[in-house]
Structure 1
Amino acid sequence: MRKRADWMVKADDAILEILEGGLMLGPTTIAKNGDLSRQHVTNRLSILIAYGFVKRVEEGYYQISDRGRLWLEGEVDASDLDPTEDQ
């Protein structure tokens, strides 16, 4: 079971699940595949990066991090994390 935090929203699950495939994706592609707005994805990616769930590979492209994968597997409790904490 995934251990959520108060800062997380439903879209975070969709974003991480889309990125779980291992591809480098941009916000527009993630939004289209998750039935989300591009702006909402962009906002959430910033937060997911701050908590170490996603990493920016290059300008406009993102990948799931090891922490993000572990969270999807229920191995990380998101409520225990600080936004600037190193992975």
Structure 2
Amino acid sequence: MRKSADWMTIADDRILEYLADHESGTPSEMAKVDTMRFSRSYLHQRCDVLEEYGLVRHLGNGVHILTDKGSQYLNGGLDTGKLDGED
């Protein structure tokens, strides 16, 4: 079972799941997926937050990848409520 933090939204789980399935992605690509249902700008904002907490890494040109912490969270092995921002 995933242990999400108070700062997380449902979009964060969808972003992390997308990155786990696709290895990398941009907010623009994610916004085109029917199941995402969030705007590109909102997904971009959420990616920035996820990066602050070390769950994704920005490679440049809007491309993000899942980090080990992001994978641990998806597998239920990380309580994101215990993470500090600016990781």
TM value normalised by structure 1: 0.91
State the partner residue of 1:78. Answer: 80
Is 1:42–2:66 an aligned residue pair?
no
State the partner residue of 1:53. Answer: 55
Shift of residue 61, structure 1, vs aligned partner? 0.5
Give per-residue Cα distances to partners, 1:2-26, cap 9 Å, x unaligned: 0011100011010000000242211
Instruction: Give the residue type in structure 2 aligned to 1:20.
Output: A
Q: Please, which runs of 5 or more residues in structure 1 have no aligned partner?
A: none
Q: Please, which runs of 5 or more residues in structure 2 have no aligned partner?
A: none
SS in 2 for 1:79: helix
CA RMSD of aligned residues (A): 1.0
Residues matched between the structures, number: 85
TM value normalised by structure 2: 0.91
State the partner residue of 1:6. Answer: 6
